[in-house]
Amino acid sequence: MAGKVILLDFWPSMFGMRCRIALALKGIQYEYKEEDLRNKSDLLLQMNPIHKKIPVLVHDGKPVCESLIILHYIDETWPDKCPLLPSDPYQRAQARFWADYVDKKFYDLGRKVWTTKGEEQEMGKKELIGSIKLLEGELGDKPFFGGEKLGFVDIALVPFTTWFHAYEVCGSFSIEAQCPKLMAWTKRCLEIECVSKSLADPHKVCDFVLQLKKALGIE
């Protein structure tokens, strides 16, 4: 499918990482544009005037916003290689449900863990572990949420694991110790080059989060 592809992104964004993985899996050539979120480019403001957020996929000058919508668009525009969603409607519904679950839970719970302290943080930690365990249950004995191969839910979730180290440092707890199954799944995902090259380094993410905390005046 001809046409220039640009990804407006920000290196530690889990949502941006999802798009990078999908584009890599599909073998799509694109231009990566790093955004400074404190100084958003004219292009970003023009391409996503409503939310002014990344990621934005610009294909042939036309913007697609919201990471899961971008994943759907990539899958439907380049359908021949490496399908991201299964072909059966029921399985597709299941994949969408779990990706939606990740969206509804992980960002806010993670944010609770790194921005709060005391009782609120404890609750955040407990709920985050609870959510991960629910996902571990859904994974079951499969190597990936998508079955034998990486799929939609795997792509939606794996970027969040790059923030786990930051959560652990801020919350003084170990996600790995409590959720070994998810850690094993993470390792399997990282063995796939398209995934590992698209993810940010967890230590760099942790430094970023700690700096951000200082800048926001959060202890």
Partner 1 sequence: MGEELKLLGVWGSPYSRRVEIALKLKGVKYEYSEEDIFHNKSASLLKYNPVHKKVPVLVHNGKPIVESQVILEYIDETWKDNPILPRDPYERAMARFWAKFVDEKCAPALWKSLMGAGPEREKAHEEAHELLNTLEGELKGKKFFGGESVGFVDIMANFVGYWVGVLEEAVGVDVLTEDKFPVLCKWAEEFRNCPVIKENLPPRDRMVAYFRDQRETITTFYKNKA
- Which residues make up the interface to partner 1 (CB under 8 A)? 50, 59, 62, 64-66, 69-70, 72-73, 76-77, 89-90, 92-93, 96-97, 100-101, 134
Opening angle at CA 78, ends 75 and 79, nearest 5: 70
Give me the torsion for CA of 58, 62, 68, 73, rounded to 10°.
-100
- 104 exposure class (CB count in 10 Å sphere: 0-12, 13-18, 19+): exposed
Phi-psi region at 12: left, alpha or beta (left = phi > 0; alpha = psi -120 to 50): alpha
* Nearest approach, Cβ of residue 70 and partner 1 (Å): 8
User: With respect to partner 1, which residue has the nearer C-beta, 45 or 190?
Assistant: 45
Counting Cβ atoms within 10 Å, is residue 176 exposed (0-12), middle (13-18) or buried (19+)? middle
Closer by beta carbon to partner 1, 50 or else 216: 50
Give bridge partners of residue 58 from the DSSP assignment: 6, 63
User: Which CB atom, from 78 or from 185, has the smaller least distance to partner 1?
Assistant: 78
Task: Residue count of the chain, please give it.
Answer: 219
Smallest separation (angstroms) from partner 1 to the CB of 24:
19
CB nearer partner 1, residue 90 or residue 215 = 90
Task: Dig out the tokens for 101 from the structure.
Answer: 């679950």
Strand order in the sheet with 56-59: 31-34, 5-9, 56-59, 62-65
Q: Is 25 helix (H, G, I), strand (E, B) or coil?
A: helix
Tell me the closest approach of the beta carbon of residue 103 to partner 1, in angstroms: 10
Beta bridge partners of 85: none
Closest approach, Cβ 132 to partner 1, in A, equals: 14
Nearer to partner 1, 89 or 217 (CB): 89
Nearer to partner 1, 152 or 173 (CB): 152
